[in-house]
Structure 1
C-alpha cells in the first residue's frame, strides 16, 4: 500500500509543476516565460497583489467623510488563464478594495490568484502581459501597491535572466583593478633590483 501511495505521489510530481518562489514584478508590463516546457503538461503559478492605504475613521455625523480605494490587476496569458481568487473581480482578475466603513475596512490586503498553463505544442511563445489600475474616494493617503509572480521551478521571466557576458563598464573596472595590482607588485620588485645592484657594485670595489 505504501509503495502504491509513493508511486502515485511520484507520478503526480512528474505531471504537475508547482511554483517555486515569488518575485516582485512591475505593476504593468509584458514579458515571456522561459523554462523547460514539455508538451501536453499542466503548469501552475501564482500571482499576488498587495495594496495598502491610510484612511481616517468615518464620522457618520459629518457628511462626505466616507473614504475608499481599489487597486486591480488584469492579466493576459498565452496558453493559460488566471483563476480569480480575489472574490471581488469587478474591475480586474485580482482586486483589493478598502473603505473606512462596513466589511470593506481593509487597509492592508493581499489576494492571490492561481495561474494555470496547459503546455499546448501549438503555443510557440509563452507570453504574459498585465496592467494595474487604481482609484480613490474621499480622504485616502499613502496608497501603495505591489505585484508578485510565482513561477514553477526552473522557470523565469525573460527580463529577469542575467546575461553571462560582462558589460563594458565591468570590463573597464577589471582592467583598472589589474593595472593597479600590477603597479603595486612592480614597485617592490624594482627596489629589490636596485639593492641587489648596489651590493654587486660594492663587491666589485673590494
Structure 2
C-alpha cells in the first residue's frame, strides 16, 4: 500500500525543493529532485552498506524508503552514536539535492533517527561533511518526528557518487532508518560553486 504514496510524495517533494532552492549546478530543467533508486531498486542491495548492523532484520539493504521491511540500525546502542554510518553508492557521480528520511519498524519496535550528519565522497575514501552555511562546522540535521512519516531534508546540490548518513541520536529504543536520495544525472556543463567543507581523512 505504501507504493501508492509515491506519486503524491514526489509532487510534494518537487514543490518543496522549488521553494527552497534558488540555484542549480547544471543547465538541466529545474529542480534536480528525482528519486535516485532506493525505492525503485535501481540502487542494488550491494550498493547500500554500513559501518555495522544489528540483528538480521536491520541490515543496510532494508533501508529503502517506503518499501523497506524494517529499516537499518547499527550495533552501537550508546548515544550519541560514534563513527556509525549508512552509505549509498550511486555507481557514478550524480547531483544530489536532498534526502527523504523515514524511521523503522520491526516486531514491536517503532524507532527513528533524531539527529544526524551527512558526508559525501567521489571515491569512497576521501569524505567531506555537509557544513552549516558560512561555517566550517558540520551541519547537524534534525531527524524524524515518528517512525512512519517520510520527511524531506535538502542538501543544496552535491556532486558526488557516495553519500553517508552519520546518525548521532535516536529514540531511546534505538535507531531505525529508511531513506531515498533525491537528485539528477549530470547533464551539460557544471558550474562550480564555493562551499566551505570539513574534509575527513
- TM-score range (shorter-chain normalised) is 0.3 to 0.5
TM-score, structure 2 as length reference: 0.35
Which of structures 1 and 2 has the bigger CA Rg? 1
In proportion to residue count, which structure has more helix? 1
TM-score, structure 1 as length reference: 0.34
